[in-house]
């Protein structure tokens, strides 16, 4: 059943009607030219994300993670097929409770948003939210990235931070956008769980010293194997940029500079892989605290 037309906004009715009704959709969108669909499509571009303050995420599970972690949902777009699923109907109800717009959209329109055949049946527009350094206070492990360029790497590292109990990810100076479609996709929902901070080097270094975090840099210039460094009780791992590596001035700030052993023809590992190897080694040293097994 559909309550409300394209011009009728739901939330004022929601508290009254929701408990006794199944899912109600404010909008039935049929056109790819609908303003909400156009806004969702525009969020591929950084400029539109900055102007609107919104970003896109795909998939019911990730939308639930966003809501459960207190992220502000702006709108939920559901395919016709998705609305048959109980989980999606419950999600729509939850979204309406949050005051978000909920719209049913033809599959072909959703596919045009994700540029994928068999697109996810659920797409959400959330409000962007970066954390401040204070959100990282007390963390045992952190990852800092110097000007990461590749959003796929950044999203993978955010997922890694989540998987290994790191307290957050710090993007130093300019870096790619953690809310780009590619980064959010690669993070597999972890962008909602891991605080991501953007910060200048000086402010970060002053903060981590005050916090008592040991800074371990990784570099092809490192003189110590990653297995031979003392990570201390609380560690921030510092990774260099994909092209230029860790600048000497930043290497000089580190309490230890490690190199991962390499064989064969490649001279370095991919940024996300090098981060994973290093973080797992530091985590291993603390007995994999917090691990599920
Ligand atoms: N051409 C770059 C350079 O000269 O450093 C390679 C950068 S690498 C793709 C990206 C980052 O991953 C590096 O800055 C470093 O932090 C880390 N990394 C990759 N392989 C590494 C290795 N074998 N030892 C230490 N760090 C490594």
Report how far ligand 1's centroid is from the alpha carbon of 222 (Å). Answer: 10
> Which of 268, 275, 278, 279 for mutating ligand 1's site (highest number of atoms within 8 Å of CB)?
268
pLDDT in tens, 161-217: 999 999 999 999 999 999 999 999 999 999 999 999 999 999 999 999 999 999 999
Query: From the CB of 269, is ligand 1 less than 6 Å away?
Result: yes
Its domain, for residue 238, covers: 133-285
pLDDT in tens, 225-268: 999 999 999 999 999 999 999 999 999 999 999 999 999 999 99
What confidence tier does 13 reach under pLDDT thresholds 50, 70, 90? very low
Q: Which of 77, 106, 127 is the last residue of a domain?
A: 127
Query: From the CB of 242, is ligand 1 less than 6 Å away?
Result: yes
Tell the residue nearest (CA) to atom 22 of ligand 1.
260
pLDDT higher than 70, residue 19: no
Query: From the CB of 220, is ligand 1 less than 6 Å away?
Result: yes
DSSP 80-108: TGGGGSHHHHHHHHHHHHTT-EEEEE-HH
Report how far ligand 1's centroid is from the alpha carbon of 221 (Å). Answer: 9
Q: Which ligand 1 atom is nearest residue 146's CA?
A: 14
In the chain, the number of structural domains is 2
Q: With contact defined as beta carbons under 8 Å apart, do 238 and 254 qualify?
A: yes
Report how far ligand 1's centroid is from the alpha carbon of 247 (Å). Answer: 11
Q: Which of 67, 98, 127 is the last residue of a domain?
A: 127
107 and 152 both lie in a single domain: no
In b/e form, how buried is each residue of 128-163, taking b as 16+ CB within 10 angstroms? bbebebeebeebbbbbbbbbbebbbbbbbbbbbbbb
Q: What CATH code is carried by the domain that includes residue 137?
A: 3.40.1280.10
Average pLDDT over residues 78-91: 88
194 and 58 both lie in a single domain: no
Helix (H, G, I), strand (E, B), or coil: what is residue 241? Answer: strand
Give a yes or no: residue 249 inside a domain: yes
Give a yes or no: residue 290 inside a domain: no
Specify burial of residue 89 (Cβ count, 10 A radius: 0-12, 13-18, 19+): middle
């Amino acid at each position: 059943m559909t309550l409300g037309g394209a011009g009728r906004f739901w939330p004022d009715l929601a508290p009254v009607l929701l408990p006794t009704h199944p899912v109600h959709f404010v909008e039935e969108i049929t056109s790819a030219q609908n303003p909400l669909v156009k806004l969702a499509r525009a969020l591929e571009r950084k400029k539109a994300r900055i102007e609107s303050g919104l970003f896109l995420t795909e998939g019911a599970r990730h939308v639930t993670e966003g809501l459960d972690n207190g992220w502000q949902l702006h709108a939920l777009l559901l395919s016709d097929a998705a609305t048959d699923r109980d989980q999606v109907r419950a999600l729509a109800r939850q979204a309406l409770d949050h005051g978000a717009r909920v719209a049913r959209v033809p599959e072909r329109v959703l596919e045009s948003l994700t540029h994928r055949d068999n697109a996810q049946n659920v797409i959400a527009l959330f409000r962007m939210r970066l954390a401040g350094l204070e959100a990282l206070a007390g963390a045992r492990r952190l990852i800092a990235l110097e000007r990461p360029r590749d959003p796929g790497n950044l999203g993978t590292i955010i997922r890694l931070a989540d998987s290994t109990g790191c307290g957050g990810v710090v993007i130093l100076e300019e870096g790619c956008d953690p809310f780009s479609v590619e980064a959010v996709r690669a993070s597999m929902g972890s962008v909602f769980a891991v605080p991501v901070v953007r910060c200048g080097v000086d402010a970060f270094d002053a903060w981590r010293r005050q916090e008592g975090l040991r800074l371990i840099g990784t570099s092809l210039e490192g003189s110590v194997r990653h297995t031979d460094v003392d990570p201390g009780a609380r560690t921030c791992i510092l990774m260099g940029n994909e092209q230029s590596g860790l600048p000497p001035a930043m290497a000089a700030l580190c309490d230890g500079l490690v190199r991962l052993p390499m064989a064969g023809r490649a001279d370095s590992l991919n940024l996300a892989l090098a981060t994973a190897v290093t973080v797992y080694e530091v985590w291993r040293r603390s007995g994999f605290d917090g691990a599920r097994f």
